[in-house]
Amino acid sequence: MNIAGRKCGWSVVATTMACLALTLSLSAQVETQTRTATGKANVVTKVERGEVVTVSGNDLVVKMADGTLRNFENVPASAKVTVDGKQLGVRDLKPGMKLQRTITTTTTPMTITTVETVKGKVWAITPPLSIILTLEDGKNQQFKIPEDQKFEVDGQMVDAFAIRKGMNITATKITEQPAVEVTQSKTVTGQAAPTPPPADVPILVAEGSEEAVPAPAAEPTPAPAPEAASGLPTWLIWVVVLLVLAVIVWWFMNRKKS
């Protein structure tokens, strides 16, 4: 068998552990270690505003800031809205309340590295297809050897064609799997609807500076009609005057005759 020709199709893994993919008929003797590396998280914040239109049981209709109506059906009782420092449930909401929902989404890239290691003594090998190892518990297990397989023998990395029966070998499989962790938090705050004034109380809105309102001019009081000094009727006064004049005339006439 031309070992040199076989090696031409294999790629050597970098200075770290070689990559070994083993398909196990049994996995009891395989040691597995997993580690996770995280990258820089991306945080996106979204704010939605609206006004409560109707509340029916656990169903809520909200008029959004853009004028559209959104129906939130079967809102869970655990969902709370902070209004004036109080925690309110969906059934506590009233039409006219202003709501603001802040959604914070955090996306974190991750790399999950899994290291699987198996140790044993070569019982039989059919390069480059399969190998049978006698494991630490004395049992034999057969492994399928994938392409680009490398084994560690006495501190050196060799391929399947360099393996011989009776060698103690260590095989390691390293896999890296990208993943994304997404977490989302929601907070809802609200503002109570303004209380309308009573129907019989007018609303006055002052504009500009305050100015003194002039008092209305007093109407002239009509002069009282003149009253007789004695309080007697006018016709009686005139009778008295005529009698006095008659007496005076009579007195002058009698004086001339004498």
Q: Is the pLDDT of residue 83 over 50?
A: yes
Beta carbons within 10 angstroms of residue 173's beta carbon: 21
Q: What pLDDT is stored for residue 232 in this prediction?
A: 65
Flag whether pLDDT at 205 surpasses 90.
Answer: no
100 closest CA partner among 75, 77, 87, 82:
82
**Interval 25-60: pLDDT, tens:** 334 467 888 999 999 999 999 999 999 999 999 999
Looking at residue 220, its pLDDT comes to 56
Q: What is the pLDDT of residues 116-175, one digit of tens each?
A: 888 899 999 998 889 999 988 888 988 888 788 888 898 899 988 999 999 999 888 788
User: Is 206 a residue whose pLDDT tops 50?
Assistant: no
pLDDT at 23 over 70: no
The strand pairing partners of 104, in sequence order, are 45, 185
Instruction: Give the sign of the dihedral formed by CA 5, CA 12, CA 146, CA 164.
Output: positive
Residue 233 confidence (pLDDT) above 90: no
Identify the weakest region by mean pLDDT among 13-17, 147-151, 184-188. 13-17
Beta-sheet strands, E only, within the chain? 23-24, 31-38, 42-56, 59-64, 69-72, 81-83, 86-88, 98-126, 130-134, 140-144, 151-153, 156-158, 168-191
Share of the chain above pLDDT 90, in %: 32
* Percent of the chain with pLDDT strictly greater than 70: 74
In this prediction, residue 18 carries a pLDDT of 35
Closest by CA to 106, choosing from 163, 184, 180, 166, is 184
Q: How far apart are CA 25 and CA 141, in angstroms?
A: 7
